[in-house]
Amino acid sequence: MNLFKTVSLEKAIPLFRIAMTFKMLMFILPVIVIIYQYKGLSVGDFFLIQGLFAIAVFFLEIPTGYIGDLFSRKKVMVLAFFTYFLGYIILFCFKGFWCVFAAELLFGVCIALNSGTSDAYVYDVLKKQGREKNFLKELGKIRSYGSFGTMIATFVGGVIYNTLGPNYTIFVELMAVFFAFVLILFLPELNDVQRIVENGKSKVQDILEIVKFAIHHAEIKWLMLFPAAFGSATMIILWVQQPIMKDNLIPVAFFGFFVGMNQLFRALFSMFSPKLFRKLKTTNFVLILFAVLLIGLLSAIILPSVSNLYINYVMLLILSFVAASHAGLSIVISSMINHRIKSDERATVLSVRSMFSKFMGAIVMISLKFLIDGMGIQYMLMIMTPIILGLTFISMKKILKLKI
């Protein structure tokens, strides 16, 4: 670590923004289902692995978040980016269900290590500069830059796949992730925000107290549950697009376009949601997002029955837009939670929030495996839509009652 001269505190967030952009250059995203089929998986297996991935992240979230509070946040992020790089090495070199699962497990470790720690790192850098009020704006920039990077990569990814094949598509991704890992090594340390455990208290007891605080907090518990339910719905919309496009005979070359448009919409949501939230306030902002979600789920149900190619394209754009809406909600919710917690518990509480999302996502994705294999995508959507909308509505209603 001493081989790398770290940048100043003022340059930490811009450097982190660049590193996250390279990490988000997901060239395989527009053809990931096809690549995983090349690696030996069925479409149902893909959803099963995504569910198992979410379960792995669920179990890792709290301990890894606590590690981010207890130890150097930079070192935790370095480890996160390294496991991400290692996962792509496995995906590049090997085939088969268990090899893909091992790669996804490492991706899960990366997300668990990074989810609470990275947001906490950004907030505390701003706090040291006396600019913590700018957290929503800076987080929006980081997420929007990453989404723009993913958008560009998805447009290119389909071309790379058609030109070089699946394995070289993974290799290009591997190089981008490696560069992101190197950049993280140059971030400055923030050692003075590490958590000090009271004498006589075990670390397990300390973790449980933070978790108990989060899930019993009158506001934070609903700020965790609502985006978890909403995110599960947008996850369904996102991942059913590729199988639907394949069944509706959409050319593979267009896969990258629609995934790229999804990332463009994510970038725009990340960029403008802070301004929209300040203008609309909580009630209007949340209600508009719920209406958008309802339109997306209904469109997803109808799309498999649509034969007209041009109507297909319009509806796929709608799905890409709706699936991206969670990016805007996530930024706003993260800011609201960060302003309600202390620095030395920040990464742990944010990991509890992520745990809620991963747990719900795991249940949904594993259910999709059996529902899709048993009855197809359209009937699966008919069953899942009222369930997921009901959970989202209940948690949204609680937030509106709090008048946050």
Most confidently modeled range among 13-22, 277-286, 302-311: 13-22
pTM of the model: 0.70
Distance between CA atoms of 70 and 18, rounded to whole angstroms?
Answer: 26
Report which secondary-structure segment, H or E, holds 314: helix 309-338
Structure tokens at 217: 């907090």
Which pLDDT band holds residue 196 (cuts at 50, 70, 90)? low
CA angle, 332 then 333 then 335, to 5°: 65
Whether 2 shows a pLDDT value over 60: the answer reads no
pLDDT at 52: 76
Which pLDDT band holds residue 4 (cuts at 50, 70, 90)? low
The residue-averaged pLDDT of 95-113 equals 89
pLDDT at 66: 67
C-alpha distances out from residue 230 to 22, 222, 234, 307, Å: 27, 12, 6, 29
**Closest to 110 in 3D by CA, of 51, 214, 24, 206:** 24
Structure tokens at 186: 């140059």
**Closest to 133 in 3D by CA, of 347, 335, 328:** 335
DSSP 4: S
- Range name among 49-53, 57-61, 84-88, 262-266 with the lowest pLDDT average: 57-61
Task: Give the residue, 278 or 367, on which the prediction is more confident.
Answer: 278
CA angle, 168 then 259 then 308, to 5°: 120
DSSP 72: -
pLDDT at 108: 84
pLDDT at 157: 84
How many Cβ atoms are within 10 Å of 2's Cβ, its own excluded? Answer: 5
Per-residue model confidence as pLDDT tens digits over 140-158:
889 889 888 888 888 788 7
Most confidently modeled range among 105-119, 245-259, 366-380: 105-119
Task: Give the residue, 289 or 139, on which the prediction is more confident.
Answer: 289
Distance between CA atoms of 312 and 376, rounded to whole angstroms?
Answer: 18
Looking up tokens 């790398």 gives: 4
pLDDT at 401: 86
Question: What dotted CATH number matches 9-186+202-402?
Answer: 1.20.1250.20
The residues spanned by each domain of the chain are 9-186+202-402
Per-residue model confidence as pLDDT tens digits over 197-224:
666 667 777 777 877 888 888 888 899 8
120-154 core/surface letters (b: 16 or more CB in 10 A; e: else): bbbbbbbbbeeebebbbebbbbbbbbbbbbbbbbb
pLDDT at 252: 66
Distance between CA atoms of 51 and 37, rounded to whole angstroms?
Answer: 17
Which pLDDT band holds residue 112 (cuts at 50, 70, 90)? confident
pLDDT at 116: 74
337 within 8 A of 23, measured Cβ to Cβ: no
Q: Please measure the distance between the N-terminal and C-terminal CA atoms of the chain and give it in whole angstroms.
A: 43
Distance between CA atoms of 274 and 133, rounded to whole angstroms?
Answer: 12
DSSP 191: G
Distance between CA atoms of 356 and 361, rounded to whole angstroms?
Answer: 9
350 within 8 A of 120, measured Cβ to Cβ: yes
pLDDT at 64: 61
Burial class of residue 216 (count of CB atoms within 10 Å of its CB; 0-12, 13-18, 19+): exposed
State the DSSP string of 43-59. Answer: HHHHHHHHHHHHHHHHH
pLDDT at 39: 92
Burial class of residue 201 (count of CB atoms within 10 Å of its CB; 0-12, 13-18, 19+): exposed
Task: Give the residue, 330 or 66, on which the prediction is more confident.
Answer: 330
Looking up tokens 């996804």 gives: 104
Output the average pLDDT for the chain.
84
Task: Give the residue, 249 or 14, on which the prediction is more confident.
Answer: 14
pLDDT at 350: 75
pLDDT at 333: 87
Per-residue model confidence as pLDDT tens digits over 301-318:
999 888 888 898 899 999
Output the CA torsion 48→113→358→40 (10° steps): -10
Whether 260 shows a pLDDT value over 90: the answer reads no
pLDDT at 80: 92
The residue-averaged pLDDT of 330-341 equals 84
- Phi, psi of 101, deg, nearest 5: -60, -40
Whether 1 shows a pLDDT value over 50: the answer reads no
The residue-averaged pLDDT of 26-44 equals 86
pLDDT at 195: 65
